[in-house]
Each structure stands twice: as structure tokens, then as C-alpha cells.
Chains A and B, each alone.
Chain A
Amino acid sequence: MDMSEPMDKGPKMKLVMVGNGMAGVRTLEELLKLAPDLYDITVFGAEPHPNYNRILLSPVLAGEQTVNDIVLNPLDWYSDNHITLHVGKKVVKIDRNARAVETEDGTSAEYDRLLLATGSNPFILPVPGSDLEGVISFRDIADVDAMVQASSKYRHAVVIGGGLLGLEAANGLMKRGMDVTVVHIGPWLMERQLDEPAARLLQKSLEAKGMKFLLQKQTAELVKGASGRVSEIKFKDGDIAPADLVVMAVGIRPNTELAESSGLHCNRGIVVNDTMQTFDPRIYSIGECAAHRGIAYGLVAPLFEQAKVCANHLAHYGIGRYEGSVTSTKLKVTGIDLFSAGDFVGGEGTESILYSDPIGGVYKKLVIKDNKLVGGVMYGDTVDGSWYFSLLRDGKNVSELRDHLMFGQDHCGNLGHGGINKAATMTDDMEVCGCNGVCKGDIVKAIREKGLFTLEDVRKHTKASSSCGSCTGLVEQILAVTAGGDYSATPKTKSMCGCTDHPHEEVRAAIKQNKLLSIPQVMEFMEWRTPNGCASCRPALNYYLLSTWPGEAEDDPQSRFINERAHANIQKDGTYSVIPRMWGGNTTPSELRRIATVAEKYNIPTVHVTGGQRIDLLGVKKEDLPKVWADLDMPSGHAYGKALRTVKTCVGSEWCRFGTQNSTQMGIDLEKAFFKMWAPHKVKLAVSGCPRNCAEVAIKDVGIIGVDSGWEIYVAGNGGIKTEVAQFLVKVKTDQEVMEYSGAFLQLYREEARYLDRTVHYVERVGLDYVKKKILDDHEGRRALYERLIFSLSVERDPWVERAKEGKLKHEFEALTV
């Protein structure tokens, strides 16, 4: 420890954790990040192992991984963090008055805070013979050892329970060479995760691997053989099957024995509130033993969310609440692709979309309610599972996607990653993230070596999926295959960044309601965790302030990304590019002469014609920027900003023999009207003079097409990572209407979109119907939106003029010498 750091006076508080599993240890990890010196920590674990990844017991049983591979926190981790670890000791008593726990062998420890992470126990069927040798559950390393041993000596294995765990156990035993029969009471397998058609496909392919099934069978008795070990299983209908090993996988029960004996309120789990606190305020509980709003979760993703919240409260930060999770399921049986989430059965008020190809072994069902995806089940092709899951979790309006929904994300316009490779079949040298050049092998290695669990972790360590995000599904699959389980769950409302728990919408509302005018004010009001934010929240806050309080909030250049601070685009070598504005794509001989002169005078190496009908000067030294702008004497093109970029036009009725409207002039008028407009992301417009659409308006944020009787307005098109055809908004008659409707749409986007959302993302989130309601139906509202936009723009000035001619922020462009 660094002794120069100020230390808290007095002894540290004592934290005792009962249970040494994944959820508990994750809480300690989160706690140590927040408050490394707050507690003396003692951990009791009943198993003789350090914390390991319980989800990966299935691959260990199947012989695909070893016990060492799945250890998450080796013993060194505990000693490095000064945690006292007692393994192989079961806590049997909590004395809440004396605030102490005691183990079977009499070891005791006092606590100021107690964390119960006792997990769950397998449910053992109360049938005669359930205590015989050879009858086990599938819960821990000892069970796996027992199964592995049995597989080398015996032949017939019976797994009771055709759920997730049972099938994984059966698969492992089969791989170990045993003859395996799965006994299931339900009419089909995994009925809590699958509907009948999907379950039948699953059964068929497991049968093809050699697994046997006895469905709708109830166990009556386990029969003792001559050796004293179990020898057969008897059913209620009188049938008998040979069984040298019986694995019970019929469910788990929260392990509440200890909590109940100490008088803590339990109801199908240790009852906790949204901060994971039990009815005794000194005692917290998380993991499979905790009942939160009546649910005891059994999957790792929600438990890790709980861990985060619990740690925050243990660290005395007191922010963050756990509000429950939606969960999804993947089966970890090699060669079987299966995914299910949410309400996949459907019923009254829901609609289902089905795709079934029994020969090809593909089955998909999506359940929709009120235009939102509420559940789904997939078999045979699950590459879009995480995409569906995120649609479901975010409650996105899918009415626009509906026609293509079944065919997956690639069919909904994502071009960034066309690869439909399934994670499991990819080789290590295949590229996953095209933006950052990350291969599957890099990701797998990072997950294994650094013990990564979440998508965020993988992004930080490997950069995969951290740029355009189109490979996110693939990365999540790799994570699921490598680390086990499904880790895609993230909190329902996403916070802006790590500096705060507030989502974008809340921050924006607070800025508006409380008239916050500066970034420090927002951070104080909203209790930011960091002294002055980070590179992702500061630019967002700056935009929210400027767009909410135009003319009152002051721009903070230090909170702008360098491009918007220097008003030019930084290039890979640290030089800049300059794109002057050419209204509607029109230029003049005199402008072109000035551009030519500037390019020669400042030795500008590359002159490039852009896709937006402008000219780009690349390789300008930063200190030359103000002089280049002065000599060009043209307006800023804002090609560097989250702002109005280009308005592309065709030559329209002025020249074209097909032109029906003067699209060039319309484009120039729009560009002049919306010039200097900052926005959540870049904004591109285009105007075509006839339906031949030479200005390619279908991929613009606002696209206008001239027809004989007026103008058609299209919105929310996109031509980048996500290619999306703009949607028809309205047809209008006059130029003034084009201006008002376009402006109102852009202002709506400026006021409501999250920072860095393009119009396509925004409209996808709120739905086109909502936009129509605001822009088409509400005439007053539309005019008000338009007027707010015009007012915002009236206080903006051309940044190039300010810097080139008035010397604003000179220091930005001048280097010092020593």
C-alpha cells in the first residue's frame, strides 16, 4: 500500500462473505475497485476450491476443459487482496446480536456487514433409493469428479431432468463413453425455454448423437443392486431401465437454510430489496440464494448486475438499484445451436412470426406484442440471437422492421459486417472486428487469459466491437462459447458512461427542468462520480447544454473532440483536413482559383473531391489552419463536426431535361437556412429534382425529391455502417413547407436523440409514427420546433471567420518553443 495516501482513522470495518461462488466473488471484485481499503474481508466457502466458473462444469465433464481452466480467482488473488479465505468450511450459524458467524468446526468471525452468497442446492427427488451410492446431482466439481469416475467403470447412465443442466450432463456423460438415457417428466425437452417444434428438433439431433429419451416418465424408485450401488430405475408406469449412475438435474432450490435458521425473512429465497439488502440492514444477499421481487435468478448475467449494485452500497456510494433482468438462454452442447429469451410461447394479445425448415434443422419463432419483440426461440441458426435479445431488452418498436425481422440483422441494413460466420465454426485467424482488425483467436485468448466476462470487458481489452459495433453479436457468441453462459445482459437503461448511472434522457431532462447552464453544474447536480467526466460524457453534455439553452449556455471548447475544437478533421499523422462549404454543391471559378492558390501556398499534399460535392484539402498543418481559412474566404463546411454537413443536389429544372423542380436552389436554401447547426451526430441532406433521384436522397438524414406537383420529404436514411433507406414522411407543395417540415424534423432529432445517435437510430427507437404525430399532425408543435431551430441557429457564428479573422482561441493553433 502507498503509505503516503491518507488513511481512514480507526480500524477497518469487517465484511464477512458466506459462500465463495461466482456472484459473491464478483461482488468483492466490484467492491475492491470502488473502495479497496474500506473492509477487512473474510470469505467462507464450503467447497475445497477457490472461486471457479460453475457454468463451465459442462465442458469439464465433456472433457473439453479441465478444472484448472475454469478457476476464476486462484488462491493468490485472495492473498493479493488481503482477503482471509476459509475453504472447505461450512458456516452453520449466524449470531445476529453478536454479529458473528460460526462454522461446523467452530471457526468464527465477526462482521460489520455480512454478505450471504450461499447459492442454491440441487433438488433431490424424494423417491426411495435417492440416497444410494451412484445417485448424484450436477452442481459442483465433486459431482463432476464422481461422474468422470463412474464413466470409466460403468455403462448405463440415467439423467433425470430434460432441462438445460440435465442435457448438458447427459452430453458430457455420452462424450465420456456412457450409454445415456434422459428421463423427463414433461411432454418435450426444456419446456421452460423451448416450444414443442424447437424441442423436437433438439431431441432429434441429440438422438442422432446417440442420446436416448424417455419422455413423460415419472420416477418411482431407484433400485439397489448387488454391490449396494444403484442398478436400475423404476417408473410409475412399471417400466424399468438399467442405471449404474443416476444424475438428478430436476431443478435447484435457493440455499436459505442458514438465513432461515438465523431468523432472516425468506420466501423462495432470501428476500432482498433493490439494493440487495435483506431484512437485517447489516446483511446483504446476492446470487441464486437471493429472492429479488419474488425471483431468484439462476443465470450469471443478472447475478453480475446484482453484484455491481451490492458492491456500490457496500462501498457506501449508495447509488444504483437492481430492478430485475430479462434473461436469455443458450445451451452449451457442442454442435447444437439454440437460443431462447423472454415470452416465447405467446398467447392472447401477441402475434408470432414463424420460420420452420425441419429438413435443414432450422426453426425460429419470434413473439411480438404491441409492436415490440417480447420473446423468441431459435434452433439451428442463432447468429441473430443477441440482436433479437437487444431488441427485446430495449423494448424497441419493431413495426418498421417487421417484414425483415425474421431474416436477421444483416437483412435490416447492416453492412459493416456481412460475415454470417457462426462463432463456434470460425477459425482463430478469422477476422471478427473489421474496424480494429481483431481476430477470433485474439478475443478467445483475452477472455481466457484475462478472465473476461462481459462485452464491455472484451471491448476494453481487445477493441473488438468497440467502433462501429456491427460485430457485437459475433463477439457475444464468442464470449458465450469461451466463457460459458450468456453474458449479453446489460442494465435495461444504459447510463451515459462510467462517470454516472444516469441515462442520457435523465441528464437531458435535468438540464432542461433545472436550467443547468454549464458542465460543472450538471455534474454537481447529477452527482457525477468523476471530477470532470471523461472523453465520452463531456462532449455529450456540451451538446445537450448548447441545444437546450441556445444563447445562454456557453460552448466549452475543452469538452469538444479535437475536430470540433480545431474546426478541421484530424488525420492519422496529426495533420488536418479542410473542407470549405460549397452551397448546394455549386462553386465558382473564383472559389476554385482560391482553393488552388491555397493548396500551392501551404504545400497541401492532397486535394480530393468528396462524396458530398465538395473539395477536401488534406494534410494541412494545424498552425496553418487560420491562415488557410482566411485565404480561402469560404464558409466552414463543418465536415469535422456533429453538425450539418453537406446538402447534395442535382442540377434540376435549371438544366436537366427531366427536371421538374429547381433542386439546386432548394438545396442551397436549405443549406443556408440550417448552416452552423450542431446535432447529436452528423447530418446530411440531399435534394433531387425528379424521381430519377441523381442526388441519392434515399441515404440521407433528410432527402427531398421534386415531383411535378411539389416535393416529397424522406427522413432517417443512412449510408454508413448501417445502410438504411430513408422513409417517406410527407409530400408538400411549397418551398417554404419543405423548409418548415425538414427543419422541424431536424429540431425534433436535436432535442430528443441521444448524443451520437444518427437520425436512423433515433427514428428506429421512437418509430416513424411518433415522428409523424409530432411533425404532420401537430401543426402548432411543428411550427414551434421550426422556430426553436431558427432561434438556435441565429446565435451561432461561422467558427472559421471567428478564428481566421478575429483571432478567437489563438492558443489552440500556436505551438510554443523552448
Chain B
Amino acid sequence: MSSWLKVCSLEEIPPLGARVVRHGDIDIAVFRTTDDEVFAVKDRCPHKGGPLSQGIVHGKSVTCPLHGWNLELATGCATAPDEGCAQKYETKLESGVIHLNLA
């Protein structure tokens, strides 16, 4: 099952930046890299629930603003030695518009 939803245009997220996308009660962090790749993970760090959307993005990782955990955007998982994953969501870019699969 997939349910693709339009989010926004690519330009609405700065390179190496993120936006929070609200879906009901859930906040999803949508990231853009320098290569215009787009990733989405639940906006809660597996460590202590920090809002990942507020972190510094580098390469294909984000550093949580609360305690500095690094998470891989592609998997939502913390880089070693930390352990834990934030739920990840599929994304796609179609004619400059970001879509998110919430299924």
C-alpha cells in the first residue's frame, strides 16, 4: 500500500535544511541535502525525543539539536556507537514537487 501526498516544492526547503510536516498528531521532518536529495523521518530522535528537523544537516546525516546524536537520513538510524532508529518515510521528487508516502 502506498499513499503519496504532496508536501511542497523543493525550493521551500533550503539546501542542508529541513521543514516540519504535520500529519494529524505526527510531526515528520523532511530534509534536503546539497545534492537536492530529499529524505523524511519522524521528527523525534530515538534518544530523548529531540526534534530532528531542528538539527544541522551534513552529508546525508542530521545531528539532533538536543544531545548531538547523528542519524542517517536514508535509514533514520543513529550512527554507531549510538543505537536506535526514527521511523523513516519514502519520498519522491516529481517535477520539483516533494511527495511523501505515509503508508
Q: Which residue, B5, B13, B20, has most C-beta atoms of chain A within 10 A? A: B20
Q: Are B66 and A815 in contact (CB under 8 A)?
A: no
What residues of chain A lie closer than 8 Å to B55, measured between beta carbons?
Answer: 535, 562
Interface residues of A in 520-565 (CB under 8 A from B): 530-535, 538-539, 557-562, 565
- Nearest CB to that of A574 among chain B residues? B51
What residues of chain A lie closer than 8 Å to B16, measured between beta carbons?
Answer: 532, 558-559
Q: Are B14 and A811 in contact (CB under 8 A)?
A: yes
Contact status of A532 and B34, CB under 8 A, knowing A562-B54, A816-B7: yes
What residues of chain B lie closer than 8 Å to A539, measured between beta carbons?
Answer: 56
Interface size on B, residues (CB 8 A): 37
Q: Which of B14, B21, B54 contacts A817 (CB 8 A)?
A: B21
- Give Cα distance in the complex from A549 to B81, angstroms: 38
Q: Mark A708-751, 1 if CB is under 8 A from B, else 0.
A: 00000000000000000000000000000000000000000000
What residues of chain A lie closer than 8 Å to B59, measured between beta carbons?
Answer: 530-532
Q: Does B92 count as interface, using CB distance less than 8 angstroms?
A: no
Interface size on A, residues (CB 8 A): 28
What residues of chain B lie closer than 8 Å to A818, measured between beta carbons?
Answer: 5-7, 21-23, 100, 102
What residues of chain B lie closer than 8 Å to A561, measured between beta carbons?
Answer: 56, 65
What residues of chain B lie closer than 8 Å to A557, measured between beta carbons?
Answer: 14, 17
Q: Are B58 and A815 in contact (CB under 8 A)?
A: no
What residues of chain A lie closer than 8 Å to B48, measured between beta carbons?
Answer: 572
Q: Are A532 and B81 in contact (CB under 8 A)?
A: no
Q: Does B85 count as interface, using CB distance less than 8 angstroms?
A: no
What residues of chain A lie closer than 8 Å to B57, measured between beta carbons?
Answer: 558
Contact status of A533 and B58, CB under 8 A, knowing A450-B81, A461-B81, A818-B22: yes
Contact status of A816 and B66, CB under 8 A, knowing A535-B55, A811-B14: no
Q: Are A817 and B15 in contact (CB under 8 A)?
A: no
- Nearest CB to that of B12 among chain A residues? A811
- Give Cα distance in the complex from A531 to B16, angstroms: 11
- Nearest CB to that of A539 among chain B residues? B56
Q: Nearest Cβ distance between residue B94 and chain A, in whole angstroms?
A: 15
What residues of chain B lie closer than 8 Å to A533, measured between beta carbons?
Answer: 58
- Give Cα distance in the complex from A570 to B8, angstroms: 26
Q: Which of B22, B34, B66, B70 contacts A531 (CB 8 A)?
A: B34
Q: Which of A530, A538, A558 contacts B17 (CB 8 A)?
A: A558
What residues of chain A lie closer than 8 Å to B13, measured between beta carbons?
Answer: 811
Q: Nearest Cβ distance between residue B74 and chain A, in whole angstroms?
A: 13
Q: Nearest Cβ distance between residue B86 and chain A, in whole angstroms?
A: 14
Q: Nearest Cβ distance between residue A600 and chain B, in whole angstroms?
A: 25
- Nearest CB to that of A811 among chain B residues? B12
Q: Nearest Cβ distance between residue A2 and chain B, in whole angstroms?
A: 13
Q: Are A570 and B65 in contact (CB under 8 A)?
A: yes
Contact status of A558 and B14, CB under 8 A, knowing A531-B59, A572-B66: yes
Q: Does A236 count as interface, using CB distance less than 8 angstroms?
A: no
- Nearest CB to that of A575 among chain B residues? B51
Between A and B, 26 residue pairs with Cβ closer than 8 Å are A463-B67, A530-B58, A531-B58, A532-B58, A533-B58, A534-B56, A535-B56, A535-B58, A538-B56, A538-B58, A558-B14, A559-B56, A561-B65, A566-B54, A570-B51, A570-B65, A570-B66, A574-B49, A574-B50, A574-B54, A815-B19, A815-B20, A815-B22, A816-B7, A818-B22, A818-B23
3 closest residue pairs by CB, A with B: A535-B63, A562-B54, A535-B56
